[in-house]
Chains A and B, each alone.
Chain A
Amino acid sequence: MVKELLVILIASSLVNNVVLSQFLGLCPFLGVSKKTNTAIGMGVAVIFVITLASAVAGAIYQYILLPLDITYLQTIVFILVIAALVQFVEMFLKKFIPALYQSLGVYLPLITTNCAVLGVALTNVQKNYGILTGIVNGFATAVGFTISIVILAGIREKMRHNDIPESFQGMPIVLVTAGLMAIAFCGFSGLL
């Protein structure tokens, strides 16, 4: 059991990196990677939300959708649950843990539309993961997201003073960087 979880942890965070090999959560990956600080904040918020969302979505799937035999509603249910959950987390943090809200609050609305959250919930169902395995998979996926966004932010900070051809300024050069990072992450595929 522990071994199985460890394999999922490595597979989801490094080998099948959520951004670089599955292309989920690309918008925040490209949008919020200008500074390392904001990238770390975004990463932590994503870890928090995805782990929580995969727990809630897993529980709803196991205890509501499966017994009632309405699994075909999963897409609708998951997207609504995730949107509501993010709103709820935002309100809860604002009221009860203001310190945490200070550091994570601004990132939460951005995560609602992050396709990685829905992607993880659906992957967990597709691969027949239980609730615990699902949570571990969600956590690992989010860690993978954090690793890649922090690396990209670091590179972008260095790149700011480089002389880049006019038409490659802005997004194109960031995409080339992401491509090179994806090649580097391909190296992990021999890991398992």
Chain B
Amino acid sequence: MNSAKERLVNGIVKENPTFVLMLGMCPTLAVTTSAVNGLGMGLTTMVVLALSNVFISLLRGIIPDKVRIPAFIVIIASFVTVVELLLQGYIPFLYDALGLYIPLIVVNCIILGRAEAYAYKNPVLPSLFDGIGMGLGFSVALTCIGAVRELLGAGEIFGIHVMPESFVPVSIFVMAPGAFFVLAVLTAIQNKVKIIGEKKGRDMSKIQSGCGQDCLNCADSGCAKRLYDDKEKQAPAQKKAETTQAPAQKTTDTAQTPEQKAADTEEEKAADKQVKEEKENG
């Protein structure tokens, strides 16, 4: 039971998909107009995540390595369809509130990420708890963001009026722009925590997600980096000279040069490999 508890804590605190890994940002921004919607989306995702983790873990010896991603997607899409129909039948108000974002759980990178990073390599029971832990972490995060937005935008939490009469709701927070602002502050806090941690000499390199990186830093290291790399390879040598000059200029106004960043990501990758090896050995 120890490993189960460890997986739950890991999902909710250490590897919280929203606050730490920054995964699944589309639903995070779209449905957190109120705490109830956030909670509903989080729990729906949790159910899908737990079920798909169990199934993928069960089938991990059968699915050939080469077609694993399409296989994962089919499994996830099936569970999403099941959950969607259940919601439509039994919790219609939530189905109406979440709308398009329920079928879009299919493309939520948390689910595919956990399938690839955990369920495909581990036994059934830990995978189940990993799914529940991650799902709970996601629910907690969405509920918090939803509550903040609801509090500032409507003066309510879970539909109960809490702010004093004199409080004028800042309705921009329940509208689309508010989502961006709340997330901006959130990532700024995350940055701050990282900076403080690094100053104290703690290892703040984030634990890697399934696609190797989180959504928001895709350009620095995920699949989008490949794009920039390809472009630079195609570019003539003249441009390369320019790009090598540019970082030198940057050192003055940014704390972290691209070279350092590249080194960082390499370190992270090395750390990730180590973790993976340890997992395999243990």
Binding site for B on A (CB under 8 A): 20-28, 30-34, 38, 72-76, 79-80, 83, 106-107, 109-110, 113-115, 118-119, 122-123, 126, 161, 163, 166-173, 175-176, 178-180, 182-183, 186
B280 to chain A, nearest CB (A): 27
Chain B count of residues within 8 A CB distance of the other chain: 54
Given the contacts A80-B70, A126-B100, A172 and B184 also touching, CB distance less than 8 Å: yes
CB contacts under 8 Å to A, within B16-64, are 25-27, 29-30
Which of the candidate stretches B132-140, B141-149, B213-221 sits at the interface with the other chain? B213-221
Q: Specify which chain A residues have a CB less than 8 angstroms from the CB of B107 in the assembled complex.
A: 79, 113-115, 118
CB contacts under 8 Å to A, within B181-199, are 181, 183-185, 187-189, 191-192, 195
B245 at the interface (CB under 8 A from A): no
Known: A170-B191, A175-B181. 10 other contacts (CB 8 A): A26-B29, A75-B80, A80-B70, A80-B73, A110-B227, A175-B183, A175-B184, A176-B180, A182-B176, A186-B176
Contact of A110 among B70, B180, B224 (CB under 8 A): B224
Q: How far is the CA of A179 from the CA of B183 in the complex (A)?
A: 10
Binding site for A on B (CB under 8 A): 25-27, 29-30, 70, 73-74, 77-78, 80-81, 84-85, 99-100, 103-104, 106-107, 109, 172, 175-181, 183-185, 187-189, 191-192, 195, 215-219, 222-224, 226-228, 230-231, 253-255
Structural contact, B188 and A172, CB atoms closer than 8 A: yes
Q: How far is the CA of A119 from the CA of B227 in the complex (A)?
A: 24
Q: Would you call the interface of chain A mostly helix, strand, loop, or mixed?
A: helix
- When C-beta atoms are compared, the residue in chain A nearest to B216 turns out to be A171
The residue in A106, A114, A123, A126 that gathers the most chain B C-beta atoms within 10 A of its C-beta is: A106
Structural contact, B30 and A166, CB atoms closer than 8 A: no
Contact of A168 among B80, B188, B219, B224 (CB under 8 A): B188
Structural contact, B106 and A118, CB atoms closer than 8 A: yes
Structural contact, A179 and B81, CB atoms closer than 8 A: no
Q: Specify which chain A residues have a CB less than 8 angstroms from the CB of B104 in the assembled complex.
A: 24, 115, 118-119, 122
Closest 6 CB pairs of A and B: A179-B180, A31-B218, A175-B184, A182-B177, A172-B188, A31-B224
Structural contact, B191 and A176, CB atoms closer than 8 A: no
Structural contact, B191 and A169, CB atoms closer than 8 A: yes
Structural contact, B231 and A38, CB atoms closer than 8 A: yes
A178 to chain B, nearest CB (A): 5
Structural contact, A186 and B175, CB atoms closer than 8 A: yes
Q: Specify which chain A residues have a CB less than 8 angstroms from the CB of B224 in the assembled complex.
A: 28, 31-32, 110
A189 to chain B, nearest CB (A): 10
Structural contact, A38 and B228, CB atoms closer than 8 A: yes
Q: How far is the CA of A119 from the CA of B99 in the complex (A)?
A: 11
Structural contact, B215 and A183, CB atoms closer than 8 A: no
Structural contact, A171 and B177, CB atoms closer than 8 A: no
- When C-beta atoms are compared, the residue in chain B nearest to A22 turns out to be B30
Structural contact, B100 and A106, CB atoms closer than 8 A: no
Q: Specify which chain B residues have a CB less than 8 angstroms from the CB of A173 in the assembled complex.
A: 184
11 pairs, CB–CB < 8 Å, chain A vs chain B: A24-B104, A28-B224, A75-B77, A75-B106, A115-B107, A118-B104, A167-B189, A173-B184, A179-B177, A179-B178, A179-B179
A140 to chain B, nearest CB (A): 16
Contact of A167 among B106, B178, B192, B222 (CB under 8 A): B192
Given the contacts A32-B227, A106-B230, A126-B100, A179 and B181 also touching, CB distance less than 8 Å: yes
Structural contact, B70 and A83, CB atoms closer than 8 A: yes
Given the contacts A166-B195, A179-B180, A83 and B73 also touching, CB distance less than 8 Å: yes
Q: Specify which chain B residues have a CB less than 8 angstroms from the CB of A25 in the assembled complex.
A: 26
Structural contact, B231 and A106, CB atoms closer than 8 A: yes
Structural contact, A75 and B103, CB atoms closer than 8 A: yes
- When C-beta atoms are compared, the residue in chain A nearest to B217 turns out to be A171
